[in-house]
Amino acid sequence: MKNHNLLKVKAIELRKTGLSYGKIKKKLNVSKSTLSYWLKDVPLSEEQKKKLYTNKIAILTRGPNCQKERRKKEIEKILTDAQSEISLPISFETYRFFGAALYWAEGTKGKSFEITNSDPIMIAFIVKWFKDIFGVSPKGLDARLNIYPQHNDLEIKKFWSDLTGIPLENFGKSFVKPLNKNYKKNNLYYGTIKIRVKRGTDMKYRLYGWIKSVLKKFDKNIELTEKRWSHLKEVSRAVNI
């Protein structure tokens, strides 16, 4: 059985040293409501009050009640719920158009059939997609890297080669970006890779045909809107002085 008188004396002694109710509770195994009753008249110095307040704010900032932690949990739930909305495996048509949309967003708009990105997952997907949709194996792809002076060129090439299956001999000369004094927030550990399908121009136009077919119902509205705003194309080009 607890000796409450002795516990009360110890609690008062600990409180006078500036300890919080939480820490006293852990030491003496006494409820906070009891401590509040025992210690309500125990004075604290201004320095002790300031320290307790600072510690409380720090705990709230680190704990599950802080905004950052709450938002992190919210995002995790959104991601988990969203994944459950997708039925796997996806159909071939969905797979084909998923890759086509990725290329439409990230691929080159020039003559070559090539795409540039720094995300290993995205690159691994698109390499497999080239093979599954167009029958182009990794051996039929060329690659070129954009890296930084601190990178080991050969090691980075080996990483991408291991990830994609593209032979090392298919990698061209890397472009090394010059040093920049400005602070760079995002550190691209693997640099950026550009992948090109050899003799892939016709494949690229075929892909654009798929996209055009899906977006056909928007064509008329876009055409009318562009006609209404055709004067925007009449603005003269800027001249560098």
Residue 78 maps to a domain: no
Mean per-residue pLDDT over the chain, rounded: 88
The tens digit of pLDDT for each residue in 177-186 reads 887 666 555 5
- Residue 153: what pLDDT? 94
Identify the H or E element spanning 175: strand 175-176
Phi first, then psi, for residue 141 (nearest 5°) are -115, 145
CA distance 174 to 143: 9
Residue 190 maps to a domain: yes
Give the count of domains, the chain. Answer: 1
Asked which of 92-101, 141-150, 229-238 is least confident by mean pLDDT, the reply is 229-238
Residue 113 maps to a domain: yes
Residue 34 maps to a domain: no
Q: Is the pTM higher than 0.85?
A: no
Residue 204 maps to a domain: yes
Residue 38 maps to a domain: no
Residue 16 maps to a domain: no
Let me know the angle formed at the C-alpha of 83 by 118 and 85, rounded to the nearest 5 degrees.
135
Which structural domain, as residue segments, surrounds residue 179?
92-217
Residue 209 maps to a domain: yes
The tens digit of pLDDT for each residue in 191-215 reads 999 999 999 999 999 999 999 998 8
